[in-house]
């Protein structure tokens, strides 16, 4: 029976055709993306959306997943006021332990355990505005060199705002393959989540990262109160920047943070948002990162139906994650493979790292 007032959002055949068009090189419009965001996950259109997202992933990227872990090398007492973050200035969260920059030995130990968990990369994340030239930058470069010499996982960093091209170049020379620096959300919503630094500073940092030759890992967080149109705006910005890895986090509302009163996104909304991201960013590495346990709960194992091709394994910066065995089994059920080796960075369809995290995430990154 024909559907009254058919739109893309309730037309499975049109969604399937759109997925094929994306595979053939079509870029979807913002109005189509908005329609996809309103698909009912439990409807035939929802089934077509997820099937299309997997078709696009398999076409551009294949069936081998990518995994990473993060390590909070400097935790707490951040100067910034990111409203989702347990480490933000003035937040008295007790979900993690504050500490200064970790000694070399602790970082090497974390690298061994990340490798044992199946991670290809370990992102060193610091809670501060950004890394400063001088002794601070020297200290980070030493840690990166030490991690690189140890082997096992690729050393990535997420150190917040970069103040100069020179800073980025030094990190690159020290051996950083990938710099994580999230946009967090749409430009039009950014002032609602942070006022101690600007969206423009983030974009400038992205520019330094790209010019240095380091890989770019950049994504953001859904469920902070942004509108569907702002989700599309955010994904369009990412489409323009072409990060090698895009961590997609979900707000995990932590008591004491400014967004602690919000409810987590419904699981259906989360699945539809991830699948829409795959339609919009067909050849990018999309990683389900922080907050997924809270949003998807006992449906977490379904997450690969959305066309993502990467997951964060191990714990987050200030909250617990999911055991690696869970991901191995969930991947197997979806016909996907977990990697066991370190890969070099290679954007579309290739390696890259990840890095991201989330509430209690870090860095003006």
Provide the terminal-to-terminal Cα distance of the chain, rounded to the nearest Å.
50
Q: Closer CB to ligand SF4, residue 85 or residue 183?
A: 85
Neighbour tally for 138: CB within 10 Å: 12
Q: Closer CB to ligand SF4, residue 22 or residue 159?
A: 159
Least distance (Å) between residue 364 CB and ligand SF4: 4
Q: Closer CB to ligand SF4, residue 35 or residue 80?
A: 80
Q: Closer CB to ligand SF4, residue 230 or residue 363?
A: 363
Which residues sit at the interface with ligand SF4, rule CB under 6 A?
A: 78, 80, 82, 85, 87-88, 127, 160, 361-364
Least distance (Å) between residue 26 CB and ligand SF4: 35
Least distance (Å) between residue 317 CB and ligand SF4: 8
Least distance (Å) between residue 88 CB and ligand SF4: 4
Q: Closer CB to ligand SF4, residue 38 or residue 79?
A: 79
Least distance (Å) between residue 315 CB and ligand SF4: 16
Q: Closer CB to ligand SF4, residue 28 or residue 85?
A: 85
Q: Closer CB to ligand SF4, residue 255 or residue 297?
A: 255
Least distance (Å) between residue 314 CB and ligand SF4: 18
Least distance (Å) between residue 57 CB and ligand SF4: 29
């Amino acid at each position: 029976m024909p559907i009254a007032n058919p739109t893309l959002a309730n037309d499975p055949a049109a969604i399937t055709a759109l997925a094929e068009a994306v595979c053939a090189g079509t870029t979807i419009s913002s109005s189509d993306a908005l329609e996809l965001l309103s698909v009912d996950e439990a409807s035939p259109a929802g089934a077509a959306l997820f099937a299309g997202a997997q078709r696009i992933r398999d076409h551009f990227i294949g069936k081998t997943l990518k995994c990473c872990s993060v390590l909070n090398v400097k935790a707490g007492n951040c100067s910034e006021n990111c409203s989702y973050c347990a480490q933000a200035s003035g937040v008295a969260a007790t979900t993690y332990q504050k500490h200064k920059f970790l000694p070399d030995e602790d970082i090497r130990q974390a690298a061994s355990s990340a490798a044992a968990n199946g991670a290809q990369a370990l992102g060193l994340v610091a809670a501060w505005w950004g890394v400063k030239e001088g002794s601070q930058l020297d200290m980070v470069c030493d840690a990166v060199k030490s991690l690189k010499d140890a082997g096992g996982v690729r050393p990535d960093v997420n150190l917040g705002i970069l103040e100069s091209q020179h800073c980025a170049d030094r990190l690159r020379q020290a051996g950083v393959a990938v710099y994580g620096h999230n946009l967090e959300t749409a430009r039009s919503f950014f002032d609602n989540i942070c006022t101690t630094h600007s969206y423009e500073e983030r974009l400038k940092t992205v520019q330094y990262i790209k010019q240095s030759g380091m890989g770019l890992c950049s994504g953001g967080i859904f469920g902070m109160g942004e509108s569907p149109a702002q989700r599309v705006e955010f994904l369009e910005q990412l489409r323009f920047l072409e990060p090698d890895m895009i961590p997609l986090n979900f707000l995990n509302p932590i008591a004491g943070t400014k967004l602690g009163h919000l409810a987590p996104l419904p699981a259906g909304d989360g699945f539809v948002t991830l699948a829409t991201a795959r339609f919009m960013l067909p050849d990018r590495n999309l990683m389900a990162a922080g907050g997924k346990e809270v949003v998807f709960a006992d449906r977490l194992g379904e997450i690969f139906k959305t066309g993502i091709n990467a997951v964060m394994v191990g714990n987050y910066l200030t909250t617990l994650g999911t055991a690696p065995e869970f991901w191995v089994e969930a991947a197997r059920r979806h016909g996907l493979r977990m990697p066991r080796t370190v890969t070099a960075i290679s954007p579309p369809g290739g390696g890259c790292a990840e890095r991201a995290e989330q509430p209690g995430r870090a860095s003006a990154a």
